Amino acid sequence: MAFSRTLEEKTVAKMIAIYCRDNHNSNSEICDGCRKLLNYSQKRIEKCPFGEKKPVCAKCTIHCYAPQQRAEIKKVMRYAGPRMLYKSPFLTLRYLFRKIFKSNVY
Ligand SMILES: [Zn+2]
């Protein structure tokens, strides 16, 4: 099933904003570090060679996150994921977790 890249980007942006607000005391703007992580994530989404026809994550053969960013985004998702459930469809989150972390989803 194809998945909207725009929706993916928005979800990541929201998660980083929640994480930054609560952990870095940022107000309306996210901090520099989080902005870098957000840019990185969005580039990964844009550069996905599967484009709008992405395969389900289990079938994706590309490890597109570098280890450091992968660790950072994972922290963000662990923190913000549960806090977003009330406003975002659970499936969206599950999709993202699977797509990025494939083997070690919880
Ligand atoms: Zn931050």
Q: How many distinct structural domains can be found in the chain?
A: 1
Distance in Å, CA 41 to ligand 1 centroid = 14
What is the rounded CA–CA span in Å between residue 59 and residue 38?
Answer: 25
User: pTM value?
Assistant: 0.69
The average pLDDT across 13-38 equals 92
Residue 22 confidence (pLDDT) above 90:
yes
Where helices occur in 25-66 by DSSP H, the ranges are 32-47
What is the rounded CA–CA span in Å between residue 73 and residue 100?
Answer: 9
The average pLDDT across 23-44 equals 90
Range with lowest mean pLDDT among 11-25, 27-41, 49-63: 49-63
Could you tell me the pLDDT band of residue 58, with boundaries at 50, 70 and 90?
Answer: very low
Distance in Å, CA 33 to ligand 1 centroid = 6
Q: Which of 104, 94, 2, 79 is nearest to 48 (CA)?
A: 2
Tokens of 102: 């494939």
Distance in Å, CA 96 to ligand 1 centroid = 20
Q: 3-state DSSP call for residue 38?
A: helix
41/85: higher pLDDT: 41
Q: 3-state DSSP call for residue 35?
A: helix
